[in-house]
Structure 1
């Protein structure tokens, strides 16, 4: 039976994974991201981030969400998670709500389950 990594280690691993992905995204698709009339999300350099122009009408409902999740938001999330990486905490003990949320986000980034 494998043991779940320590919460602090999970948050650090998520920070590392997010930082690598963010570095790539900022290089290729700098913020801000905006939706064009062609049902496309474009980065500040006009590169296409998401394209729903060939899809059925109505299949573009995720474009506002995709545009919102640009590297600027990822950077803010990274800074917040990184600020918590030095905190050691025990999942079995009462913990601050902020740490529970950080751990939940880290697990989403890592694709792991508690």
Structure 2
């Protein structure tokens, strides 16, 4: 599979997931999400522009919702972000990307995102860190 194929496959997968997450089981629109803190945990809610929203995190007395840091992050990465990211990945369609030579930096990022979405390891020679990974020797800011 070429890098272009991987990017296209990831865009398709992400669009499917984001589209599915855009409605609840009763076809109510749930595209925008928000997190509501309750004590030291909280719940993820999907907004419904045509009526009441829906809580999309299950809870039980033994498992009351999720940690706020996780809920805030998930709500930020709602289906609108997923669809925009899928569009960005799709923008690489038709561009000849190959493994047998260096890729432009922006194509490297697209391939890294695509591989992460597909559950594949990132190409370590292109890996960029946010400060908590195991590939510190590939960081640009390393002296």
Q: TM-score, normalised by structure 1?
A: 0.82
Aligned to 1:41: 44
RMSD: 2.3
Q: CA contact under 8 A between 2:23 and 2:31: conserved in structure 1?
A: no
Is 1:96 aligned to 2:104, yes or no? yes
Answer yes or no: is the 8 Å Cα contact 1:52–1:60 preserved in 2: no
Rg bigger for which structure? 2
After TM superposition, list the pairs within 5 Å mapping 1:1-114 onto structure 2.
Answer: 5-28=1-24, 30-38=30-38, 39-45=42-48, 46-51=53-58, 54=61, 55=63, 59-113=67-121, 114=123
Q: Pick 1 or 2: higher relative contact order, CA cutoff 8 A, min separation 6.
A: 1
Structure 2 residues not aligned, in runs of 5+: 124-143
Give the alignment's TM-score, normalised by structure 2. 0.67
Q: 1:52 to 1:105 in 2, by over 3 A?
A: farther
> Which has a greater percent of helix?
1
Consecutive aligned runs of 4 or more in structure 1 exceeding 6 Å deviation? none
